């Protein structure tokens, strides 16, 4: 069970996703990244030790689930849980805010804003 610093829902949500990398990893998964190598190749260039740590934390918080079955050269894949997929509107609005208020940022593809959480969520089964 995760220890939260307070009963505030904002502070508690930030305890889960408020670090430098978790929302970036979620964004990448929402756009279709599923493997460790997919996530390591993102433009932000997350260090592999940090990526591994964040994926473990995200799995422990039930934001993602790891399929450890080997499929060809891919050692497994990661999928969003319904809880992780429910963060889609938050990530989309954060992107909109960044586009509006931060100069010289790249614009996410239209398909990013067309995604809905129900398209992303997978059950643990």
Average pLDDT along the chain: 91
Q: Residue 2 — very low, low, confident or very high, per pLDDT cuts 50/70/90?
A: confident
Q: Residue 125 — very low, low, confident or very high, per pLDDT cuts 50/70/90?
A: very low
Q: What is the pLDDT of residue 76?
A: 73
| d(C-alpha 96, C-alpha 102), whole Å | 10
Q: Which domains does the chain have, with CATH numbers?
A: 9-120 (1.10.10.10)
Q: If you average pLDDT over residues 14-32, what whole number do you get?
A: 96
Q: Residue 49 — very low, low, confident or very high, per pLDDT cuts 50/70/90?
A: very high
Q: Residue 67 — very low, low, confident or very high, per pLDDT cuts 50/70/90?
A: confident
| d(C-alpha 96, C-alpha 64), whole Å | 24
| d(C-alpha 6, C-alpha 87), whole Å | 20
Cα torsion for 6, 80, 86, 22, to the nearest 10°? 50
Q: Going along 1-125, which residue ranges are E strands?
A: 64-67, 77-80
pLDDT tops 80 at residue 14: yes
Q: What is the pLDDT of residue 33?
A: 95
Is-above-0.95 flag for pTM? Answer: no
| d(C-alpha 43, C-alpha 40), whole Å | 9
Residue bearing tokens 């220890």: 3
Q: Which among 59, 125, 116 is positioned nearest to 89, based on CA atoms?
A: 116
SS3 43: coil
């Amino acid at each position: 069970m995760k220890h939260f610093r307070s009963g505030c829902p904002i502070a508690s949500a930030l305890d889960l996703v408020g670090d430098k990398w978790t929302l970036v990893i979620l964004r990448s998964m929402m756009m279709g990244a599923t493997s460790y190598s997919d996530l390591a190749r993102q433009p932000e260039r997350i260090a592999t030790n940090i990526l591994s740590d964040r994926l473990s934390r995200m799995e422990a918080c039930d934001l993602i689930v790891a399929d450890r079955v080997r499929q060809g050269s891919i050692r497994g894949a990661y999928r969003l849980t319904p809880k992780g997929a429910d963060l889609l509107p938050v990530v989309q609005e954060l992107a909109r805010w960044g586009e509006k208020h931060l100069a010289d940022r790249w614009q996410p593809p239209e398909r990013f804003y067309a995604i809905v959480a129900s398209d992303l969520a997978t059950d643990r089964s």
